């Protein structure tokens, strides 16, 4: 933060009540209000997560009006599959540089909500179904963006996992999944990267609007995590401005036309709002003006420019790394670019790429390259094309399918582009099956020529069960941004080695998904009934069949893992190291994934949970030692009774491998936990007393003495079978039984002994 004499933060005392209130809401759709007399500048905030959407005219927040051209990087569904924080930091830097060049002070992203259901309409804008992966990648994006003097806006805080009724729905979620799944990613990004702004979501959480949830915006975000930035509302998320301000919502966007500013002034004047609360919010706006001053000045001086070619090249690199090779029977891929036989490229998405989703994240790309042209440029043989379907049309079109059959019949190899229809902010998906037109085309093409590789373009997962057994190879291409076409062609022909790994499970059926019975809720409430068991946490715990597991992704080379070793870290976490060798003949990336579980835990736990990972690049024959730290915080569980994180001590099972279902090595690691000994009371059970270091001997002595004196109830309480029958009774209840050895005097004596 700039603390020079010109610092905007210093101007707070000189501002009037009205000026301070005016600072806390927008001037229009995208800018904050200036205070001209005091020299406080307006700040420009624009979307979004995978490209800068700066609108020159015709403002809206749902992607309807065009914006100034900007590099369209792969949306988060693609970026999440790279599992590579270093790459995402570079994408973040590029996003920050473009924002900076456009005079943008805050870029409204990244979006890091958990993909609770594959039906979530904005899943393409989110990174993963796992909070650790989400948090590490989100932190890298934030650090990259902010390295350019531009603020990130971590969104949508919090528990915004569906579009249905998104402005009112209450996400009703228990304390543990709330902390361990839905907030953990936010916690990681805030503590690791300190975003300059956090955007509160539209929805309610356990009945309270995020925009006026003091627990969320102040107690947790600032009190527990140490957030020092500003909270901005999602566009139109404010329900009650004065209540929101008091809860910790600093800036309302977009403009309320001055209406809510007046409410704030009124509330201060009539004493219902402490002026100090307004001062705090206004100070945070001024602090943001300070933090972003240098970038604004650079843009005004014309000194902030970016290299569009270099950013396109980075978009290409990110797209290559986002592609996941789901299946590759008998080395069907890569295709030989020099093979003589004709190639048939089928599917309109090869010519008209489906490269991003709809809504506020919609970017106007600086250029757009399709896969068809790139395939033509790479293959020496003749390439024929048939569109096969019309995007946006579900019903199969006979003439297009007939043309595709012709093309497939005359070809040596077929590359078939299929995918989902438009996915967008604002509404959820209704299913995960391919559109009927794509399914029929697939069947017809496979009947004509089984030498077919399928390339998928989709934001949320699509079902592959029911058809992928018929094809030798499947590439999951997600939405790949403006350079997705050449990236796909390079992977198809082996110029690039696919290294993406699934950041979300591909389930066999929609009916198998954990939130299936609880999505999207009713009467503006949605119950998160699956609790902790989101994504692979559910499938692995239930040992269910899935089409492709979390973390899965093939390569054109092979990797061997060996030599798992563990040591303790200074913070009480675990450091592991693994030797990874590239045993094939191509360079490539391996993603090493570390999962833990605690057999015999006193807490409900998923079968395994990702706690760390690393991306490593290896030349053929090369071996590297990969080191991964599992943070103590990540190993902790939320103790709902104590209302805090605790680390349960014990022998953890550490599983290290290449997907949640491809564990290559495991080890047992002793972790020292927190002291969880609860003070004993007469309400504690007999078993709790017996397990306690002081209570156990004390109560045993009482019972043994009484038993020796012939007390039958005491004998029962000593007998192992008797204990298993009534050991769960609190002492007060046992004391109430006729003839109990636990007389009031005995209880008093016991309490005295354990309180010493
Ligand atoms: C979206 C946000 C976006 C904002 C501004 C809202 O509709 O939920 O993600 O940043 O609009 O466009």
**pLDDT confidence bin for 95, thresholds 50/70/90:** very high
* Beta strands 452-457 and 151-157, pairing class: unpaired
Tell me: do 727 and 635 sit in the same domain.
no
One-letter-per-residue 3-state SS of 589-625: EEEEEEEEECCCCCCCCCCCEEEEEEEEEECCCCEEE
**pLDDT confidence bin for 45, thresholds 50/70/90:** very high
Is the model's pLDDT at 6 over the cut of 90? no
Tell me: do 317 and 336 sit in the same domain.
yes
Mean pLDDT of the chain: 96
Tell me: do 425 and 531 sit in the same domain.
yes
680: tokens are: 């004993």
Q: What is the pTM of this model?
A: 0.95
Length of the chain: 756
Residue 86: inside a domain: yes
Tell me: do 537 and 601 sit in the same domain.
no
Q: Is 45 close to ligand 1, i.e. is its CB under 6 Å away?
A: no
Segment 665-675 mean pLDDT: 95
Residue 676: inside a domain: no
**pLDDT confidence bin for 66, thresholds 50/70/90:** confident
**pLDDT confidence bin for 48, thresholds 50/70/90:** confident
Summarised one tens digit per residue, pLDDT across range 208-238 is 999 999 999 999 999 999 999 999 999 999 9
Tell me: do 250 and 320 sit in the same domain.
no
- In angstroms, the CA 422 to CA 324 distance is 21
Q: How many CB atoms lie within 10 A of CB 86?
A: 11
- In angstroms, the CA 400 to CA 396 distance is 8
Tell me: do 536 and 457 sit in the same domain.
yes
Q: Is 360 close to ligand 1, i.e. is its CB under 6 Å away?
A: yes
On the 0-12 / 13-18 / 19+ scale of CB atoms within 10 A, 13 is exposed
The pLDDT score that the predictor gives to residue 676 is: 83
Is the model's pLDDT at 63 over the cut of 70? no
Q: Is 125 close to ligand 1, i.e. is its CB under 6 Å away?
A: no
Report CA(425)–ligand 1 centroid distance (Å). 9
Render 703-719 in DSSP notation, one character per residue.
Answer: HHHHHHTT-HHHHHHHS
- Pocket test residue of 125, 163, 235 for ligand 1, highest count of atoms within 8 A of CB: 235
Q: Which of 165, 234, 261, 540 is catalytic?
A: 234
- Pocket test residue of 234, 237, 252, 357 for ligand 1, highest count of atoms within 8 A of CB: 234
Is the model's pLDDT at 715 over the cut of 60? yes
Q: Is 108 close to ligand 1, i.e. is its CB under 6 Å away?
A: yes
Is the model's pLDDT at 254 over the cut of 60? yes
The answer to whether residues 611 and 569 touch, using CB atoms and an 8 Å cutoff, is no
Look up the CATH number of the domain holding residue 183.
3.20.20.300
Q: Ligand 1 atom closest to Cα of 47?
A: 10
The answer to whether residues 159 and 103 touch, using CB atoms and an 8 Å cutoff, is no
Summarised one tens digit per residue, pLDDT across range 689-703 is 999 999 999 999 999
The CB-side HSE value for 341 (13 A sphere, CA atoms) comes to: 13
Nearest CA to ligand 1 atom 9: 360
Render 185-254 in DSSP notation, one character per residue.
Answer: HHHHHHHHH--SEEEEPSSEETTEEGGG-HIIIIIIIIIIT---SEEEE-TT--S-HHHHHHHT--BB-S
Range of the domain at 226: 17-300
Segment 735-751 mean pLDDT: 94
Report CA(691)–ligand 1 centroid distance (Å). 53
Summarised one tens digit per residue, pLDDT across range 313-332 is 999 999 999 999 999 999 99
The pLDDT score that the predictor gives to residue 117 is: 98
Residue 3: inside a domain: no
The pLDDT score that the predictor gives to residue 61 is: 65
Summarised one tens digit per residue, pLDDT across range 409-445 is 999 999 999 999 879 999 999 999 999 999 999 999 9
How far, in Å, are 12, 518, 534 from residue 514 at the CA level? 50, 8, 6
Report CA(62)–ligand 1 centroid distance (Å). 7
Q: Quick one: CA dihedral 698, 702, 708, 711, positive or negative?
A: negative
- Name residues whose C-beta falls within 8 Å of residue 272's C-beta, 6 or more positions apart in sequence: 242
Nearest CA to ligand 1 atom 5: 61
- Pocket test residue of 52, 61, 237, 363 for ligand 1, highest count of atoms within 8 A of CB: 61
Tell me: do 362 and 381 sit in the same domain.
yes
Report CA(678)–ligand 1 centroid distance (Å). 46
Q: Is 67 close to ligand 1, i.e. is its CB under 6 Å away?
A: no
The pLDDT score that the predictor gives to residue 1 is: 44
Q: Is 106 close to ligand 1, i.e. is its CB under 6 Å away?
A: no
Instruction: Express as a percent the part of the chain with pLDDT over 90.
Output: 94
**pLDDT confidence bin for 570, thresholds 50/70/90:** confident
Report CA(110)–ligand 1 centroid distance (Å). 11
Tell me: do 643 and 708 sit in the same domain.
no
Q: Is 234 a catalytic residue?
A: yes
The pLDDT score that the predictor gives to residue 153 is: 98
Q: How many CB atoms lie within 10 A of CB 11?
A: 19
Report CA(720)–ligand 1 centroid distance (Å). 62
Summarised one tens digit per residue, pLDDT across range 533-543 is 999 999 999 99
Q: Domain boundary at 548, 576, 599, which?
A: 548
Residue 232: inside a domain: yes
Q: Is 47 close to ligand 1, i.e. is its CB under 6 Å away?
A: yes
**pLDDT confidence bin for 675, thresholds 50/70/90:** confident
Look up the CATH number of the domain holding residue 625.
2.60.40.10
Q: Is 574 close to ligand 1, i.e. is its CB under 6 Å away?
A: no
Residue 328: inside a domain: yes
Look up the CATH number of the domain holding residue 331.
3.40.50.1700
Q: Which residue has the higher pLDDT, 680 or 63?
A: 680
Structural domains of the chain, count: 4
Tell me: do 210 and 324 sit in the same domain.
no
Segment 700-708 mean pLDDT: 96
The pLDDT score that the predictor gives to residue 64 is: 65
Helix (H) or strand (E) holding 105: none
Report CA(280)–ligand 1 centroid distance (Å). 25
Tell me: do 318 and 373 sit in the same domain.
yes
Summarised one tens digit per residue, pLDDT across range 372-397 is 999 999 999 999 999 999 999 999 99
Tell me: do 329 and 289 sit in the same domain.
no
The CB-side HSE value for 254 (13 A sphere, CA atoms) comes to: 14
- In angstroms, the CA 96 to CA 146 distance is 7
The pLDDT score that the predictor gives to residue 2 is: 42
Q: Is 234 close to ligand 1, i.e. is its CB under 6 Å away?
A: yes
Helix (H, G, I), strand (E, B) or coil at 585: coil
Helix (H) or strand (E) holding 502: none
Segment 629-634 mean pLDDT: 95
Is the model's pLDDT at 681 over the cut of 70? yes
Tell me: do 66 and 211 sit in the same domain.
yes
């Amino acid at each position: 933060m700039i603390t020079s004499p010109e610092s905007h933060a210093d101007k707070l005392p000189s501002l009037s009540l009205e000026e301070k209130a005016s600072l806390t809401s927008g001037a229009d759709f995208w800018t904050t209000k200036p205070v001209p007399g005091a020299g406080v500048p307006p700040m420009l905030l624009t979307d979004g997560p995978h490209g800068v959407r700066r609108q020159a005219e015709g403002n809206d927040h749902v992607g309807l009006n065009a914006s100034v051209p900007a590099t369209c990087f792969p949306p988060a569904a693609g970026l999440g599959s790279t599992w590579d924080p270093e790459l995402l930091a570079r994408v973040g830097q590029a996003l920050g540089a473009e924002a900076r060049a456009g005079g943008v002070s805050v870029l409204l992203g990244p979006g890091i909500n958990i993909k609770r259901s594959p039906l979530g309409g904005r899943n393409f804008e989110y990174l993963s179904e796992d909070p650790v992966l989400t948090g590490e990648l989100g932190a890298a994006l934030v650090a990259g963006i902010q390295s350019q003097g531009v603020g990130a806006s971590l969104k949508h805080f919090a528990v915004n996992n569906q579009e249905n009724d998104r402005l009112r729905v209450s996400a009703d979620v228990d304390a543990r999944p709330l902390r361990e799944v839905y907030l953990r990613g936010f916690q990681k990004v805030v503590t690791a990267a300190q975003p300059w702004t956090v955007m509160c979501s539209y929805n309610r959480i356990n009945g309270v609007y995020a925009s006026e949830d003091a627990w969320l915006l102040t107690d947790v975000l600032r009190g527990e995590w140490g957030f020092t930035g500003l909270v901005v509302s999602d566009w139109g998320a404010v329900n009650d401005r004065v209540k929101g301000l008091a809860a910790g919502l600093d800036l309302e966007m977009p403009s309320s036309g001055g209406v809510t500013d007046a409410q704030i002034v009124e509330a201060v004047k009539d004493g219902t709002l402490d002026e100090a609360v307004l001062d705090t919010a206004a100070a945070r706006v001024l602090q943001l003006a300070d933090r972003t001053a240098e970038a604004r000045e650079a843009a005004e001086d014309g000194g902030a420019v970016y290299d569009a070619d270099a950013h396109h090249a980075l978009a290409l690199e990110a797209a290559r790394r986002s592609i996941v090779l789901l299946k590759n029977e008998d080395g069907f891929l890569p295709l030989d670019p020099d093979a003589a036989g004709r190639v048939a490229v089928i599917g309109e998405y090869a010519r008209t790429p489906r490269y991003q989703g709809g809504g506020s994240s919609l970017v106007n790309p600086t250029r757009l390259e399709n896969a068809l042209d790139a395939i033509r440029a790479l293959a020496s043989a003749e390439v024929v094309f048939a569109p096969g379907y019309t995007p946006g049309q579900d019903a199969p079109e006979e003439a297009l399918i007939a043309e595709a059959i012709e093309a497939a019949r005359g070809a040596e190899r077929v590359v078939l582009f299929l995918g989902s229809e438009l996915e967008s902010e604002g509404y959820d998906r209704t299913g995960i099956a391919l559109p009927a037109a794509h399914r029929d085309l697939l069947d017809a093409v496979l009947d004509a020529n089984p030498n077919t590789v399928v390339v998928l373009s989709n934001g949320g997962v699509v079902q592959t069960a029911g058809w992928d057994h018929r094809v030798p190879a499947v590439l999951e291409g997600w939405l790949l941004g403006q350079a997705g076409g050449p990236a796909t062609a390079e992977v198809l022909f082996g110029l690039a080695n696919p290294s993406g790994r699934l950041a979300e499970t591909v389930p066999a059926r929609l009916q198998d998904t954990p939130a299936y019975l609880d999505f999207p809720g009713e009467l503006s409430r949605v119950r998160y009934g699956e609790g902790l068991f989101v994504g692979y946490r559910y499938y692995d715990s239930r040992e269910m069949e899935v089409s492709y597991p979390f973390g899965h992704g093939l390569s054109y080379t092979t990797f061997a893992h060996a030599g798992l070793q563990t040591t303790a870290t200074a913070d009480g976490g675990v450091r592991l190291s693994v030797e990874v060798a590239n045993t094939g003949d191509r360079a490539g990336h391996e993603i090493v994934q570390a999962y833990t579980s605690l057999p015999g835990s006193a807490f409900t736990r998923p079968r395994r949970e990702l706690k760390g990972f690393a991306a490593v690049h290896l030349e053929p024959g090369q071996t590297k030692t990969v080191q991964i730290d599992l943070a103590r915080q990540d190993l902790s569980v939320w103790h709902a009774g104590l209302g805090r994180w605790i680390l349960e001590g014990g022998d953890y099972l550490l599983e290290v491998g290449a997907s949640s279902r491809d564990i290559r090595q495991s080890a047992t690691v002793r972790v020292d936990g927190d002291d969880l000994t609860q003070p004993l009371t007469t309400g504690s059970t007999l078993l709790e007393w017996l397990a306690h270091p002081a209570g156990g001997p004390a109560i045993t002595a009482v019972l043994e003495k009484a038993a020796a004196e012939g007390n039958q109830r005491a004998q029962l309480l000593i007998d192992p079978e008797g204990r298993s029958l009534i050991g769960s009774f609190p002492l007060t209840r046992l004391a109430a039984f006729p003839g109990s050895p636990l007389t009031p005097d005995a209880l008093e004596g016991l309490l005295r002994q354990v309180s010493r």
